Amino acid sequence: MNFSEAATSGLFFHLAPWLVFFPVIGLLINMIFGGKMSEKAVGTVASLASGAAFVVSVLLAYSLNAVHGELQTVPFAEWIHIGQLQLDWTFRVDSLSTVMMLVVSGVGTLIHIYAIGYMHEDVRFHDEVKRFRRFFVFLNLFIAMMMILVSGDSYLMLFVGWEGVGLCSFLLIGFWYDFDTLGRKSTANAEAGKKAFIANRVGDFGFLLAIFTTFWHFGTLQFDGVFEAAAAHPDPYVISAITLFMLIGVTGKSAQVPLYVWLPDAMAGPTPVSALIHAATMVTAGVYLVVRSAPLYSVVHSASYIVAMIGAVTALFAATIAVGQYDIKKVLAYSTISQLGFMVAAVGTGAYVAGIFHLAAHAFFKALLFLSAGSVILGMERGHHHLAHGHGDHADADAHHEDGEVFDPGDMRNMGNLRKQMPVTFWLYLAGTLALAGIFPFAGFWSKDEILLDAKLHAEHFPGVYWLLAIAAFLTAFYMGRQIWMVFYGKERTEVAKHAQESPPIMTVPLMFLAFLAVFGGALNLPFEGFHNLGHWLEYTIGHVEDLPLNLGVAGVSTLLALLAIFLSWLIYGKNPIKAGQPDPLKKALGPIFTGMENKWFVDEGYKAVVLDPFQKLAKFLSITLDWNFWHDWFHESVIYGFFKWLAAFLSDPVDMGIINAVADWLADLTKRSSESLRRLQNGFVRSYALSVLLGVVAILGYLLFK
Amino acid sequence: MDGISVNYYVGLSTILFVIGATGVLIRRNALIIFMSVELMLNAGNLAFVAFASAHDLLNGQVFVFFIMTVAAAEVAVGLALIVAIFRSKKSINVDEINVLKG
Amino acid sequence: MDFMSNPLNVVTFFPLIGVLLLLFVNKENKVLIRWISLLTALATFGLSLWLLSQFQPANPNLQLTINESWIQVANWNISYYMGVDGLSILLVLLTAFLTPIALLSTWSAIEEREKDFNIFFLLLEAGMLGVFMAQDLFLFYIFWEFTLVPMYFLIGIWGGPQRIYASIKFFLYTMAGSLLMLLAILWLGIHQGTFAVPDLIRMGGIPAETQIWLFLAFAIAFAIKVPMWPLHSWLPDAHVQAPTAGSVILAGVLLKMGTYGFIRFNLPLFPKAAIHFAPMMAGLAVVGIIYGAIVSYYQQDIKKLVAYSSISHLGFVMLGLFALNSQGIQGGILQMINHGLSTGALFLLVGMVYEQTHTRDFDVYGGLWKIMPVYGSIMLVVTLSSMGLPGLNGFVGEFTILLGAFGSEAIGSPWFAGLSAIGVILAAVYMLYMYQKIFLGPTGSIVETVKEHGHALRDLSAREIITVAPLLIFIFWIGLYPKPFFELIAPAVDNLVAILQAAMH
C-alpha cells in the first residue's frame, strides 16, 4: 500500500492518540534519563517529541483531505461510564481540530528549538543549570495537554486539556519561582503563576457549570450528540445558560475582560513560554471552544452578541493599556489580550473562519514578536553581563544579582538603537510588527481585515463591535510603532544597550521560519475567488461559510488607520527620540489618561480591593474568629467543656460533698459514737465475758421458761 | 440405783456447776479457772448420766464420752496456751491478760 | 463456606496474628517488631486482594457472607454477620492498602514504645476492616467503637504536645455521637426482631415518621465521624496532634467510616428520611465545602491546612451521596477512595519533611523545590490530585459528584452543585498557597535552621519514595482509567438507587 492509499484508507487516523503519546514519551525520557543527558540531548529529545506530534498532525490533515474532510473519531479507551454518563478517551479529527493541531505542534516545535538556545543562556543568568531539563519536561507536557484539548471528542476531554494547559501555564510562569522578573529573590513569579491558575480556575468553574447544564439537558457531553440534541430541542434559555457559562471559561483561558488580569503577569515566565502558551496556543483555546460550540452559539443571538462585545471591549481596553507600557514583553502581552479580543469578537459575530484565520496568523506573528523580544532581552543581558564582569572576570558569578542596582533588560527605556547591535533580530521584529499592525501584504492584514469586514457586514446585528475593533486596530499600529522607535531607533539610552549582542543561529533560525509565516501566512485564506482555502477547509466542520471578497472600503480604512498610527508614533517617538530619564512624551499630552494606561487602569488594584482583600478578611474571620475563637475555643471549650466543668464542680461540691457525703458521714459518726460507749464493755477480763455469757444463758433460759 | 431419785443427781450436778461457774468468775489464776471449767463439764456429765439412766437411754451416756474427749483436748490446748502465756508474761493471772480490751 | 477460611474472617482477623506474634517479641528488638507488623499488614493486603479475586463485581448483593447466630436473648437476634458488596469492597481494599504504607512511614518517625505502637496499629486495622464488613448492626457497633481505642492511644501516646487533649476530645466527640446510634440500633433490632442489615432493608416498613428519628440518630454519629460542618471541631486537633501514620489512617480510613455509614445504613434503611433530608444534608455539605476551603487558606500550620481541606473534600463526598442518584453516589464512593489516597499522601509527605525540620509553620518554609526536587515533584502531583486536576484521581470523583448533584432530583436544585463548584476554585487557592509557601519562592529560613543543627535538608530517601509511590500509581490510575473501580461499585449502587427511587415515587 503506498502513501496516498494509506491516507485514503484512513489508516493514519489511528495515529491520533500519538499526538499525545509522543510528547508524553519525550517528557518521560527527559524526566527519567535527562539527568545524565547533555543540554543539547535534552532539547533535541523534547523538540523531536513535539516534531513527531507535528508530523502526526500533518498526516492527519493529509488523510482528512483525502477523505474529503469527513469527521473521524478515534476511540482509545473507556473513561467514566455511570448510567447515562458515557465518557471515553476518544480523539476527534476534523478540519477544525487539525488546524489547531498544526498550529500548536508547528509553532510549538519551532519554539522548542528556539528554547534550546534561549534556555541555555537563561539558566546561566539565573545560576541554575539543572532547571534546563525541567523546562523541557513542562514544555512537552504542555504540548500533550494542548493536543488533548484540541483533539478531544467531548466537552469533558476538552476540559481535561483545558485544565492541563492551565497547569503547565502555572508551572512555566512560575518557572523561576524563586525570583521576580528582574532576577531578584522574591515570590513574585510564583505569585504570578498562582494568579494565572486561579483566574483560569474561575473560568473553569463557569465551564464546569456549562458542562453540567449540557449533560442534564442533552444527556451527553460528546460534541455531535450535544449539537444534535440542541438542534432537536433548541430551548433558548438552556442554550443561553450553557453558552454564557462557557463564556466565563473563555474569558478565563483567553484572557478577556474581566478575567484577563493574569496574562500580563504571566510574562514572568521565560520568553519561549510567553510565546508558545501566552500568545500562540493556550490562550486561543477559548476561541477554539467557541468555534467548536458554534452550533450552540449560532442559536442564541444574545449570547453571541455578549461574546462579540466582550471581545471588542477587550480588544480596545487592552490596546489602550499597551500604549502606556514600558516593558517590551508587557506591551506584547497586552497586545495579545487585544488580539484575542479580535478573535473572540470575530467568533462572536459568527465569523468563525475569520477568527480561526486570525488565530493562526496571530500565532505566527505574535510568537515571532515574543521570541524576538526574548532575543532582545537576552542581547541586553549579554551586554549587561559583559559590562558587569569586565573581561574574563567570572570569579563572582552572582555579582550582578546582588550588587544592589537592578538592571531591567526588558525595559524599553533602557534600550534604543538596537538595530545596530542586533540587525537580524531587528528585521525579524519588524516583520512581526508589520504583520501585527495589519500592513499589506503581511498575514495580519488579511486576517484582521476579514474580522473587520465581518463585523462591518453584521453591524446591524452586532452594533458597536466594528467601531471598537477599528479603534483597537489603530491603537495596535500605534503602540507597535512606539515600540519599534523606542527599541531599535534613536540613541542608546544606556551603556548596556551599546554592548547588546546578537543571538546565536539556534534562536534566530526558527524565527526566520516564523517570520516567513508571518509574512506569507495570509495565503491561508486570501479573499479572492478560488482561494479562501481555510474557509473551505473549515466548512467540513462548521458548515457552509460565505466567501467574502476583499472589500476595498474596509481594507482601505484599516490600512489608512494603521499607517496614520505609525506616522503618529514616528512623530512622537521617532522624530525626537526620548532620552534617558525623560518621561514618555504622551504623558504630557494625555495627562491622567496616560497615567491610567501606564497603571493598567488600576484594574489589579481594583481586584485587590474588591475581591482579594475581602477574601482575605473573610478567611481570617472564618478561620480565626469563627472557627477557632468562637467554635473551637468558645463553644467547645467554654460552653461545652465549661458547662461540664461547672456541672462536675456542682455535683462534686454541693451535691456530692454536701448531701450524699453528709449522709454517709453522719452514719459513720453514729457508729463511731455508739462504739465509743460500747467499747467500755470490752474490758479484757475473761471473767466479765464469762459472766455476760452466763447472764445471757440465764436470760435465754428464763425466756424459754416463762414465755 | 433405783432407790435414789434422779433429783439428787441433778441437784449435785447443779451444785457442782455453780461451784465451777463461780470459780471461773471469781478466781484469777488461770489454772484454777481451768479446774473450775473441768468441774462444770463434769457437772454436765453427771446430769447426762443421771438422765440417761433414769430414762433408760444410751444417748446421754455416749455424749459423756464425747464430752470427756473434748475436755481432754481442751485441757491439752488450754494448758499449752497457759504455758505459752506464762512464758511471755511470767504470770498466769488472767487479769493481766487484757490486751484485747476495747 | 467454612467459617475459619472465609476470606472476610481471614482478612479481618489476620492482623491479630501479628499482634499475637508481637506480644512475644522483646521490645528492644525494634527491627523485628517493624518487620513483623509490616509483613502482617502486607499479608493482610495480599489477602484482601485474594478476597477481591473471589468477589464478583457484577453481583449487586452481599457476597462471601458469614451469618452465624450469636446472641439470642429474649427477642434479640444478634448474629455474627459479615459480608462485602460494591459499597464496601473498595474501602476494605483501601484500609488494607494504606496500613502497610502508614506503618512503613513510622520506621523513622516513631522511636519510643514501638512495640506498643505496632500492636495498636494492627488492632486498629482489624477494627476498621470489621467496620466495613459487618452486616449486623450490633456487630457493626462493636467494631465501630473498637476502632476508637487504638486510635485514642495512638494520638494520646505518640502525638504532639497537646496529644492528651486531642485524644480525649476525639474520643468523647465520637462516643457522644455513637451513643445515639446505639439507641437507634437497639430500637431497630428489638422492634424489627433482627439486627441484620440486609433483612432490615428487605423488611422495610418503618413508617416515615420513625425513619426521621432513626435517621437523625444514625446521622449524628456518622456526621461527627465524617466530619460534617459544624461537627468538625475535633478534627483539626486530632490531625495536628496525631503522629503521621495516625493522621494517614485517620484521614484515609477513619473519616470514611462516617460516610460509609451513611451509604450502608442511612440511605437504604431509611430511604424516605434520606429523601426528606437530602436538601438539608446537601446544604450542610456545601457549607462544609466552602467553609473548609476558606478556613484552610488561612492556616499557619501545614497539617492544619490539610485537616481543614478534609472537611471540604468530605463535603464533596456527602454532596454526592445525598444526590441520591447513581452518578452522585458512585462519585461519592470513588471520592472516598481518592481522598484516602490524596490526603493520605499529603499527610505522609508533610510528615516526611517534618521529621527533618520539626516544624510545620509555613513562614519558615519556601523554595524547597530547589533543595528537594523529588519531594517537590511528588508533592506537586499529590497537591494537584487533591485540588481535582483532570487526569488525576480527584477530578473523576469531584466531577461525577458535582454532575450528579447538579441534576439530582432529591436535592432539587442545581444551586447546591453550582455553589460547591466554587469549592473547586477555592481548592486551587489554598492548595497552591500551600505549595507556594513550601516549595516556591526564595529558600526559607528553615534551611539555615536545619543546617545549624548539623544536618542539611536531604531529598526523599528510597524508603520514603517506596512509601508514597503506590499512592501515586493509584492517583494516576484512577484519574486516567477509573473503569475497573466504577465496575466494582456500580451494581451495588444501582441497587441502592433502586431502593431510593422506590421510596421517592
The reported pLDDT for the residue numbered A6 is 74
Q: Do B25 and A694 touch (CB under 8 A)?
A: yes
pLDDT band at C131 (very low <50, low <70, confident <90, very high): very high
Beta strands in C63-167 (DSSP E): 63-73, 76-84
Cell for A537? 477547509
The shortest CB-CB distance from C233 to any of A179, A619, A636 is to: A636
The shortest CB-CB distance from A687 to any of B25, B101, B102 is to: B25
**Nearest in space to A517 (alpha carbons), one of A352, A374, A347, A357:** A357
State yes or no: pLDDT of C67 exceeds 90. Answer: no
Q: What share of chain B is helix, strand, coil (3-state, %, to 5)?
A: 80, 0, 20
The reported pLDDT for the residue numbered A405 is 64
8 Å CB contact between A316 and A296: no
**A202: nearest CA partner in chain C:** C425
The reported pLDDT for the residue numbered C90 is 93
Contacts of B25 in chain A (CB under 8 A): 687, 690-691, 694
pLDDT band at A478 (very low <50, low <70, confident <90, very high): very high
The percent of residues above 70 in pLDDT, for chain C, comes to: 100
Q: What are the pLDDT digits (tens) for C422-463?
A: 998 999 999 999 999 899 988 888 888 888 887 888 888 899
Average pLDDT along chain C: 90
Instruction: Tell the burial category of A603 from Cβ atoms under 10 Å away from its Cβ (0-12, 13-18, 19+).
Output: middle
Q: Which ipTM value was assigned to this complex?
A: 0.90
**A694: nearest CA partner in chain B:** B21
Domain hosting residue C165, numbered range: 7-504
Q: Do A190 and C440 touch (CB under 8 A)?
A: yes
Tracing cell 494520638 back to the chain, one arrives at: C155
The reported pLDDT for the residue numbered A400 is 45
Task: Give the CB-side neighbour count of residue A48, counting CA atoms within 13 A.
Answer: 11
pLDDT band at A1 (very low <50, low <70, confident <90, very high): low
Instruction: Give the CA radius of gyration of chain C.
Output: 22
The reported pLDDT for the residue numbered A404 is 52
Distance CA C457, CA A373 (A): 39
Q: What are the pLDDT digits (tens) for A222-234?
A: 999 999 998 888 8
Contacts of A78 in chain C (CB under 8 A): 481, 483
A679 Cβ under 8 Å from any chain B Cβ: yes
Three-class secondary structure of residue A285 per DSSP: helix
Q: What are the pLDDT digits (tens) for A77-95?
A: 888 888 888 888 999 998 8
**C229: nearest CA partner in chain A:** A627
Helix (H) or strand (E) holding A89: strand A85-93
A691 Cβ under 8 Å from any chain B Cβ: yes
8 Å CB contact between A470 and A558: yes
DSSP string, C194-209: --BHHHHHHH----HH
B26 Cβ under 8 Å from any chain A Cβ: yes
Q: Do A170 and C294 touch (CB under 8 A)?
A: no
Distance CA A271, CA C168 (A): 56
8 Å CB contact between B6 and B54: yes
Domain contains C1: no
Pick the more confident residue, C109 or A518.
A518
Tracing cell 460516610 back to the chain, one arrives at: C259
Q: Do A678 and B33 touch (CB under 8 A)?
A: no
Distance CA A546, CA A353 (A): 10
Chain B neighbours, 3+ Cβ pairs < 8 A: A
The reported pLDDT for the residue numbered A122 is 81
Q: Do A204 and C424 touch (CB under 8 A)?
A: yes
Mutate to test the interface with A, among B17, B19, B25 (most CBs of A within 10 A): B25
Q: Do A685 and B94 touch (CB under 8 A)?
A: yes
Contacts of B94 in chain A (CB under 8 A): 685-687
CB-CB neighbours of C393 under 10 Å: 28
Domain contains C437: yes
The reported pLDDT for the residue numbered A552 is 82
Q: What are the pLDDT digits (tens) for A11-33?
A: 888 888 999 999 999 999 998 88
Q: Do A680 and B102 touch (CB under 8 A)?
A: yes
Q: What are the pLDDT digits (tens) for C215-251?
A: 999 999 999 998 888 888 889 889 999 999 999 999 9
- Cα dihedral A127, A131, A136, A141, rounded to 10, equals -140
Do C and B touch, 3+ Cβ pairs within 8 Å? The answer is: no
8 Å CB contact between A175 and A273: yes
State yes or no: pLDDT of C319 exceeds 80. Answer: yes
pLDDT band at A386 (very low <50, low <70, confident <90, very high): confident
**Nearest in space to C21 (alpha carbons), one of C47, C7, C2, C41:** C41
State yes or no: pLDDT of A46 exceeds 90. Answer: yes
Q: Do C440 and A201 touch (CB under 8 A)?
A: no
Q: Where are the domains of chain A?
A: 376-389+408-598, 605-706
Q: What are the pLDDT digits (tens) for A668-681?
A: 999 999 988 888 77
Helix (H) or strand (E) holding A554: helix A552-569
Q: What are the pLDDT digits (tens) for C13-63?
A: 999 999 999 999 888 888 898 999 999 999 999 999 999 998 888 888 888
Contacts of C418 in chain A (CB under 8 A): 209, 212
Q: What is the mean pLDDT of residues A693-701?
A: 91
CA distance B54 to chain A (A): 23
- Cβ neighbors of C53 (< 8 A, separation 6 or more) are none
State yes or no: pLDDT of A272 exceeds 80. Answer: yes
The reported pLDDT for the residue numbered A390 is 61
The reported pLDDT for the residue numbered B101 is 65
Q: Do C414 and A212 touch (CB under 8 A)?
A: yes
Average pLDDT along chain A: 87
Cell for B71? 475436755
A620 Cβ under 8 Å from any chain C Cβ: yes
CATH class of B29-93: mainly alpha
CA distance A672 to chain B (A): 13
pLDDT band at B6 (very low <50, low <70, confident <90, very high): confident
For helices C393-406 and C414-439, angle between their N-to-C axes, nearest 10 degrees = 160
The reported pLDDT for the residue numbered A382 is 87
Domain contains C105: yes
Lowest-pLDDT range, A105-119, A458-472, A683-697? A683-697
A694 Cβ under 8 Å from any chain B Cβ: yes
- Cβ neighbors of A377 (< 8 A, separation 6 or more) are A271, A328, A329, A409, A410
Q: Can you give the pTM of this predicted structure?
A: 0.85
Lowest-pLDDT range, A124-128, A394-398, A618-622? A394-398
Q: Do A681 and B102 touch (CB under 8 A)?
A: yes
Contacts of B102 in chain A (CB under 8 A): 678-683
State yes or no: pLDDT of A396 exceeds 70. Answer: no
A126 Cβ under 8 Å from any chain C Cβ: no
Distance CA C147, CA C99 (A): 14
Mutate to test the interface with A, among C378, C406, C497 (most CBs of A within 10 A): C406
Q: Where are the domains of chain B?
A: 29-93
The shortest CB-CB distance from C369 to any of A177, A186, A622 is to: A177
State yes or no: pLDDT of B83 exceeds 50. Answer: yes
State yes or no: pLDDT of A650 exceeds 50. Answer: yes
Q: Produce one character per residue of A538-557: b if its CB has 16 or more CB atoms within 10 Å, e if not.
A: bbbbbeebebbeebeebbeb
**A195: nearest CA partner in chain C:** C429
Domain contains C431: yes
pLDDT band at A608 (very low <50, low <70, confident <90, very high): confident
**A680: nearest CA partner in chain B:** B102
Q: Which residues pair with C73 in a beta bridge?
A: C76
Mutate to test the interface with A, among B24, B36, B81 (most CBs of A within 10 A): B24
Size of chain C in residues: 505
The reported pLDDT for the residue numbered C28 is 85
Domain count, chain C: 1
Contacts of B99 in chain A (CB under 8 A): 684
Q: Produce one character per residue of A45-68: b if its CB has 16 or more CB atoms within 10 Å, e if not.
A: bbbbbbbbbbebbbbbbebbebbe
The reported pLDDT for the residue numbered A183 is 77
Three-class secondary structure of residue C240 per DSSP: helix
Q: How many degrees, rounded to 5, is the angle at CA A624 between CA C359 and CA C351?
A: 25
CA distance A675 to chain B (A): 9
Instruction: Tell the burial category of C420 from Cβ atoms under 10 Å away from its Cβ (0-12, 13-18, 19+).
Output: buried
Q: What are the pLDDT digits (tens) for A553-582?
A: 888 888 899 999 999 988 888 888 888 778
State yes or no: pLDDT of A418 exceeds 60. Answer: yes
Domain contains C2: no
Peptide bond into A441 cis (omega under 30): yes
Q: In chain A, which among 75-94 make CB contacts under 8 A with chain C?
A: 77-83, 85
Q: In chain B, which among 34-93 make CB contacts under 8 A with chain A?
A: none
